Amino acid sequence: MRKIGIIIFILIFGISCFIGGFLYSNFLVKRNQSIGEAKKIEYERKFIIVSSKIAQDKVLSLEILSDISSVWSNAINNNYDFNLKIEQYLLKNENVFEAMTKDNENIERGMQDLKDYPLQYQEAYNSLMELFSVYSQIYSLAQSPSGTLVSYNSKIADLSSEFTKIFSRLKIYIPKLKEENTKQEKKEKEEHLPTPTDFLSIDVAPKPLKWVKPFYPNSAKKAGLEGKVWVQALVDKYGKVKDAKCIKEGSVNPDIFCESAILAAKQCEYSPALSNKKPVASWVQYEVEFSLK
């Protein structure tokens, strides 16, 4: 009887150890899964922050590039000293450039934090690295303009187009990034700005005072491509272009030429539209042809 009792005890002990080990192992698996999920959520949160910041700073850099291009063009047309005019512009916007430098440093630190990525984020991280590379080139152009005005504007158009393509790919990898980007694109309106479809009672239409010709993208020139795009531009009551977009319907090769046409449109200036003898915001529409002839 004593032997039987010992055997039963050993069996019970063994079964208890097995069940306990199984339950503990299951607990460890679930805990690791929970930790892994938490790391994934945290990584995606950081990824969205860095990506969105790059997109925001890209917009600011392009605004600076547009201003520099205008200063450059004005210097050529009026025989001014370009270097002097650029120095004056940089000094006037010193605070803006300081803020850009700090933002760039934060972005670089954020990119370092994202190096240790979960396996499922490898493709997204590789695309983000591409985006960061294009952003860095745009940032460098804003900090140190070089080359000729033609090559400078062409480089801006090419980089802007490449950035848009990569960012669109990122929004497929990270759906939440699309939601965040949509929020950021909603601008606070200081005045009522019409949409292209709004009916406006205009007595006098906007007239161009300063016209900037779009530059031919290098990629299109090398490929021997020609095209035309329809551009819509929102001219505010001060004659400044607040927004510009391409209409793909009726356009030829819009994906290639739109960025260049939009960049040029945003540098143009107009006499504002008049309604009841008062300046108002309105849209203008025109066609831009890109020909190698």
pTM of the model: 0.59
DSSP the chain: -HHHHHHHHHHHHHHHHHHHHHHHHHHHHHHHHHHHHHHHHHHHHHHHHHHHHHHHHHHHHHHHHHHHHHHHHHHHHTT--HHHHHHHHHHHTHHHHHHHHHHHHHHHHHHHHTSS--GGGHHHHHHHHHHHHHHHHHHHHHHS--S-HHHHHHHHHHHHHHHHHHHHHHHHH-HHHHHHHHHHT-PPPSS----TT-----SB--EEEE--PPPPPHHHHHHT--EEEEEEEEE-TTSBEEEEEEEEEEEESHHHHHHHHHHHHTT-EEEPEEETTEEE-EEEEEEEEE---
The structural domains of the chain, ordered by start, are 33-184 (no CATH), 207-290 (3.30.2420.10)
Confidence band of 286 (pLDDT split at 50, 70, 90):
very high
pLDDT over 90 at 279, yes or no: no
Q: At what angle do helices 82-92 and 2-77 cross, to 10 degrees?
A: 130
DSSP 25-47: HHHHHHHHHHHHHHHHHHHHHHH
Whole-Å CA distances, 165 to 64, 70, 142, 184, 226: 21, 26, 21, 18, 20
Q: pLDDT per residue over 99-147, tens digit each?
A: 888 889 999 999 999 998 888 889 999 999 999 999 999 989 888 888 8
Q: Which of 67, 145, 49, 141 is nearest to 103 (CA)?
A: 49
Q: pLDDT per residue over 202-221, tens digit each?
A: 888 999 988 888 989 888 88
| β-bridge mates for residue 289, sequence order | 228
At 166 the pLDDT is 92
Of residues 279 and 18, more confidently modeled: 279
At 110 the pLDDT is 92
- Hey, what are 193's tokens? 């700005």
At 16 the pLDDT is 62
Q: pLDDT per residue over 50-84, tens digit each?
A: 998 898 888 878 888 888 887 888 788 778 888 88
Q: What's the rounded Cα separation, in Å, for the pair 42 and 19?
A: 34
Q: Which of 64, 135, 81 is nearest to 104 (CA)?
A: 135
Confidence band of 20 (pLDDT split at 50, 70, 90):
low
**CA 171: distance to chain centroid?**
11
At 189 the pLDDT is 46
Residue with tokens 């969105």: 52
Asked if residue 137 lies in contact with residue 9, where contact means CB atoms within 8 angstroms, the answer is no
Q: What's the rounded Cα separation, in Å, for the pair 69 and 154?
A: 11
Q: What's the rounded Cα separation, in Å, for the pair 74 and 226?
A: 28
pLDDT over 60 at 13, yes or no: no
Confidence band of 287 (pLDDT split at 50, 70, 90):
very high
